[in-house]
Amino acid sequence: HHAVEAYKIGDLLRENDVCSAIWADWYGFKMEAYDGILENAALLNQAGACVVIHSDDANGIQRLNQEAAKAQAAGRRMGMDISDGDVIGWITLNAAKAMGIADQTGSLEAGKMADVVLWNGDPLSVYSRPEKVWIDGALMFDALDPKRRPVSDFELGQPGEGDVK
C-alpha cells in the first residue's frame, strides 16, 4: 500500500508474489514518499511484478482507468511496451489477487462474480464514458435510460463529485 518506491525491488516482489498498490503519480508529499517516480508501475510491470493502481481520493477512485492510463503513458515515454491488457489488470485482476479473492472476481470467467463496465470507447481514454454498468449481474447504470442514471449533486445545484454522463 502506497509503495511509491516499489520499483526499486520489483524483482523481489515478483519472486515473492507480492502485489504493490501504488498511485499513478502522487508522491513527494512526505519524507517516505520523496523517491517516488512516475514510472513506478511501468518498472514493476517490466519486472513481472504484480501492480495495483489505487487511490485514496474519492474522485480519483472513480477514474482508476485514467490513473492506470497515466502510469502506462509514463512507461511508454521511457520506451516500455505495456499492453492495454496489462494496464486493465492493474485495476481488476491484480487488485483481486492482492486481496486474495482472484479465484472469485477480478476477471471475466465462468463462475466468477463480475461487475462489468461497457465503455463507449477505449476504457483508458479520458474521452470515454461508461455506457452501461452491471453489478452482481444486474444492470445498474445505463447512459441511455434516465431511470438507470444517478442524479448528481451538481444537477441539484450543489457541489458534486462528478457526473459520468
Please give the model's pTM, rounded to 2 decimal places.
Answer: 0.85
The arithmetic mean of pLDDT across residues 61-68, rounded, is 92
pLDDT at 162 over 60: no
Q: Do residue 92 and residue 12 come from a single domain?
A: yes
Q: Which residues pair with 133 in a beta bridge?
A: 117, 141
Measured in degrees and rounded to the nearest 5, phi and psi for residue 131 equal -95, -45
Whether 74 contacts 25, CB under 8 Å: yes
pLDDT at 164: 46
The arithmetic mean of pLDDT across residues 15-32, rounded, is 89
Whether 2 contacts 39, CB under 8 Å: no
The arithmetic mean of pLDDT across residues 59-74, rounded, is 93
Chain segment 67-117, per-residue pLDDT in tens: 999 999 999 999 999 999 999 999 999 999 999 999 999 999 999 998 999
Chain CA centroid to CA 139, Å:
21
Q: Do residue 145 and residue 64 come from a single domain?
A: no
Instruction: Classify residue 53: in a domain, yes or no.
Output: yes
Q: Do residue 99 and residue 142 come from a single domain?
A: no
Tell me which residue range forms the domain holding 148: 115-165
pLDDT at 126: 94
Q: Residue 53: how many CB atoms within 10 A of its CB? A: 27
pLDDT at 28 over 90: no
Q: Do residue 86 and residue 121 come from a single domain?
A: no
Cα(130)–Cα(141) distance, integer angstroms? 9
pLDDT at 154: 55
pLDDT at 163 over 50: no
pLDDT at 156: 57
Total of domains in the chain: 2
Element (H, E) at 98: helix 93-98
